[in-house]
Structure 1
Amino acid sequence: MLKLKSAIAVILLLALTGCGAFFNQPYQQQRARVGEVTPVSEKLVNFPLPQEPVVAGVYNFKDQTGQYKSVENGSTFSTAVSQGGTTMLIKALEDSKWFTLIERENLSNLLNERNIIRNTRSEYRKNQNPNEPNLPPLLYAGVLLEGGIISYDTNIITGGAGARYFGVGASTQYREDRISVYLRAVNTSNGKILKTVYISKTILSQAVSANLFKYVNFQRLLETEIGFTKNEPVQLALKEAIEKAVEALIIEGIKDELWLPRASEEATATIIKNYEDEKAEAEATQIYERFLTERRGQNAITAAAGISLINGDLPDPQPQLNVKLGFKRQLNSHLNLDFTFNKFNLENKTVFNQGFMSFDLNLNYNILPYDKLTPYLFFGVGTNATNNFEQIDPKIQAGLGLEYLVKENIGVYLYGEHNLAFSDQLDNIDAGTMDDMFYRFGVGINYYLTQPSTQFNKKKELERLKKKEIKALKRENRRKMQEELKSNRKSKSNN
């Protein structure tokens, strides 16, 4: 019974793990609904209106990838990307209210229908009403919008994690695809390409599963499995990419004064600045969402604590406390120069225990300087001395470490270093052919006194200031409300 209860508890735990999927399972058919919107859809709808809409025509915004859906067995004639790019683009242009759209995708149908109208009116004018008006002329486009879906890359990154113990296991998997679109505006008067924008969007697929396969008793096997998958619709990803392209094209045109919004100069400047910040951040982000920007300031104070371990002529080395303080100066993105003061002890069990200090100058090389997490190597020279300065020896040191930025100006790091003293007298024994050595390992903190002057950091600083202003405003509102409550209570008590 105890085993059965344990198994039931495991099943319940697995059920809770996938409860989100269970509570949202499609047990019945769903009715037709208005199509989903994306965050960019809302931005387009709420975008400032233009001073004058641009008459635009879209002949074709097609899939230029030529890809078909991949299947495990056999072949398929279904395309990997929706063929309705033109319709999506027209809808996005209509939502923005910046363009007066004219029909060009099925122009032959429109011309045929106009011929029918023209012939019918001509016959009616002859036989019935000689004053029947002529058919008005067609609008012509001032701008043509061209481009298309230029890439659909599958499995640009895949991965997952899982674990199993005594028949109980769980796993998760993910996959990312990527779709890219180009959109350009062409002047119909002279054929000049006014602007071209490029937008990419990742498409995420996830799978989560948990299972139990266990004998709960003799010849009694319990087996259960829970799981769900989520695949981001390609159509929605394409819709968002096209809408983002329309937004980018409008703002690029505002920058070059091809068209202007019905807004103040200050509001227009804010729109352009926000777009430039977003563009700079996108340009600094690599394909796998690695945001490459200067993160570490030029000057930093460093402190660490750890252990030291001697490697000399005596046996049984014992770990002892090591602390250090220092200052670090950035030379460029990859190189730093730091000066540190170390206080430590070296000990061999029962035979030697001596306090030392060292003054070290190191050249550090950051392997991934634009990432929050970076390994680094260092090499340098130093001076080793006993506490009473009776023995002073030069030395060299080298090592490696790993730093992680927990905040914009605070980094936590682990390090290990090898120190070679130019003396065989560290342990007061002169034996062998090699000088004495010792090792230091520790964990520390880098406190950066300044921040790089990048667009990213400026944006972060503005966000912090806005948050402070909002908090101050909330405090002021609460204070006013409390004062009003107090005054109301006083007036009631007086009455």
Structure 2
Amino acid sequence: MHKLYKVLSFTGILCLYSCGTYFNQPFSASPSRTGEFSASSKNLLDLPLALDPVEVAVYNFSDQTGQYKAIENGSTFSTAVTQGGTTMLIKALEDSGWFIPIERESLSNLSTERNIIRNTKQEYIKNLNPNEPPLPPLLYAGLLLEGGIISYDTNIVTGGLGARYFGIGGSAKYRQDRITVYLRAVSTSNGEILKTVYVSKTILSQALDASFFRFVKFQRLLEAETGITQNEPVQLAVKDAIEKAVRDLIIEGVKEKYWSAQGGVEVNEKLVADYQEEKSLDEATGLYERIFVDRPYKNNFSFSGGISLIDGDYSVNNPDYLARIEYQRSLTSHLNLGAALSIFKLNNENSFSGSFASLDLNTQLELLPRDDFSPYLYGGPGIAVELGDPEIASGQENLSSTFFKIQYGVGLQYLISPKFGFKLFAEHNILLNDEIDNLVNGKRDDYYFNIGIGFNYYFGLTTPKTSIE
């Protein structure tokens, strides 16, 4: 009975812990509510007031992807993205305060209604009141806004994690889609395309679940499960992308002096400067939220410290110090060539202890040469030389003082600027004999490990700095 109580308690905790699933279940119908803000709504609404709002017309801003919702066995006749892009764009233009939207999507309906008004005035009002003013003309737009939703990419990232042990398990899964919109401003006076902006937005779906499956006693099976799935609304993602596109178009127009904010040059310059900083970060961010950096410097010095650990013929291996200075030169964007000078100590406690210097020649392969966080592989030949007399067990002789070796390793580097970066590395040094600890035993040669942390200083600007592609 006590065991059953513990199982039920665990199941209850599991249900309560699973992301509050049972506290967020919709048990009743909800009333209508005002639509949600997107992540870009506040940035759009916080723009300074326009000096002179511009009349704009939007005839069509629609789904150009032609995609339908995907299901396990094919697709449905329901579209993958909303067909109301024009309405969303007009709402964003209105909210910005920089534009006066003019009805053009349903121009035929507007024209029909105006004809009805005009005929009514002519037939009935004109005879009764000759001074009745005529129907005012339609506003005309100085700008046309064109474009649309041009891409909806599904499953650009998928993954998950799960585990199960003794009937208890859980898993997490996620999927990321991506939507892209283009928006361009066209002058109605000459048809010139003044500006085009391009915005993308990811759409995240997540699923978490946990389960319990176990026999609590003979012929008594307890099974429990809980879970939650969360899908970011596609409509809200489209709204977010459109609102950011409108904001970007406004600031691009300010930058090109097509229009201006109230407050004059000072407000305009601050608006453009903040936008340029944001745009630089966006342009340096890759598809999978990877930050790209320029690497215009061909040379670097590296200073590192860490530990060395021998793995030789003695059973007791103690870590000891490592200090290293290294020079490298880039041959290509992926390939570096360098030399490293190290001073380290190998320590077998009372059996052997000695200090050494090594000179290593390495070829280094950068796996992600344009990322700010980049793994790398390296390897090459080297030589280690003993410094002074080693401390060895009594009765043993110093067998050699020079040792040839081969080393290889892996590392991670994080660039905080084009000139400075931090790195971590782990290295395996394979000696070509069995004599470094002054004991020859068995068929395997001695080797040792180096683990360290350091920083790189880059210099020697040999290529001009260019903007991020």
Q: Which runs of 5+ in 2 are unaligned?
A: 391-397, 462-469
Query: Contact 1:400 / 1:417 at 8 angstroms: preserved in 2?
Result: yes
Cα gap change, 1:386 to 1:58, in 2 (>3 Å): same
- Is 1:393 aligned to residue 402 of structure 2? yes
| Offset of residue 2 of structure 1 | 2.8
- Runs (5+) with no aligned partner, structure 1: 454-495
Deviation, structure 1 residue 96 = 0.5
Residue 442 in structure 1 maps to residue 450 in structure 2: yes
Q: Distance in 2 between matches of 1:211 and 1:123?
A: 76
Mapped to 2, the partners of 1:403 and 1:393 lie a distance apart of 31
| 1:457 equivalent in structure 2 | none
Change (3 A) 1:27 1:375: same
Q: 1:387 to 1:398 in 2, by over 3 A?
A: same
Which amino acid is 1:393 matched to?
A: T
Distance 1:415 1:197, change over 3 A: same
Q: CA deviation at 1:407?
A: 8.1
Partner of 1:415: 426
Q: TM-score, normalised by structure 2?
A: 0.85
Task: Specify the alignment match of 1:357 in structure 2.
Answer: 356
Cα distance in structure 2, aligned partners of 1:424 and 1:166: 47
Equivalent AA in structure 1 for residue 78 of structure 2: S
Residue identity matched to 1:359: S
Residues 191-340 of structure 1: pairs in structure 2 closer than 5 A: 191-293=191-293, 298-310=300-312, 319-329=317-327, 331-332=329-330, 334=334, 335=336, 337=338, 339-340=340-341
CA displacement 1:255-303 (0-9 Å, x = unmatched) = 1111111134333222222222222222222211222225999544210
C-alpha separation in 2, matches of 1:325 and 1:36: 57
In the superposition, the TM-score normalised over structure 1's length comes to: 0.81
CA contact (8 A) 1:402 1:413 kept: yes
Letter in 2 for 1:263: G
**Greater helix content:** 1
Amino acid at match of 2:307: A
- How many residues align? The count is 444
Structure-2 change in CA distance of 1:451 and 1:10 (3 Å) = farther
More divergent stretch after superposition (129-138 vs 228-237): 129-138
Distance 1:359 1:289, change over 3 A: same
What is the correspondence of 1:473-492 to structure 2 with a 5 Å cutoff?
Answer: none
What is the match of residue 345 of structure 1? 346
Structure 2 residue aligned with 1:76:
76
Q: Which residue of 1 aligns with 2:373?
A: 372
User: What's the counterpart of residue 174 of structure 1?
Assistant: 174
**Match in the other structure for 1:482:** none
Deviations 1:437-483 (A, max 9, x none): 54221332214568999xxxxxxxxxxxxxxxxxxxxxxxxxxxxxx
CA-to-partner distance for each residue in 1:180-219, whole Å, 9 max, x for gaps? 1110001111111111111111111111101111100111
Code of the aligned partner of 2:101: L
1:408-436 C-alpha deviation (Å, 9 max, x unpaired): 87746241222446x8864668999x9x9
The verdict on how the C-alpha distance between 1:449 and 1:73 changes in structure 2, with shifts beyond 3 A counting, is: closer
Quick one: distance in 2 between partners of 1:38 and 1:403?
36
Q: State whether residues 382 and 395 of structure 1, in contact with CA within 8 Å, keep that contact through their aligned partners in structure 2.
A: yes
Matched to 2:319, the amino acid is: L
Residue 36 to residue 355, structure 1, CA distance change in 2 (3 Å): same
For 2:359 and 2:266, the matched residues in 1 are separated by 53
In structure 2, C-alpha distance between the alignment counterparts of 1:18 and 1:262, rounded to whole Å: 51
Equivalent residue in structure 1 for 2:412, among 395, 403, 408: 403
In 2, Cα distance between equivalents of 1:418 and 1:377:
12
Does the CA-based 8 Å contact 2:429-2:449 persist in structure 1?
Answer: no
Cα distance between partner residues in 1 of 2:457 and 2:402? 33
Please give the alpha-carbon distance, in whole angstroms, between the structure 1 residues aligned to 2:416 and 2:168: 38
With 372-381 and 225-234 compared, the bigger mean Cα shift is at 372-381
Partners in 2 of 1:442 and 1:430 — Cα distance?
22
Percent of aligned pairs with the same residue?
Answer: 46
- Higher share of residues assigned strand: 2
Change (3 A) 1:62 1:257: same
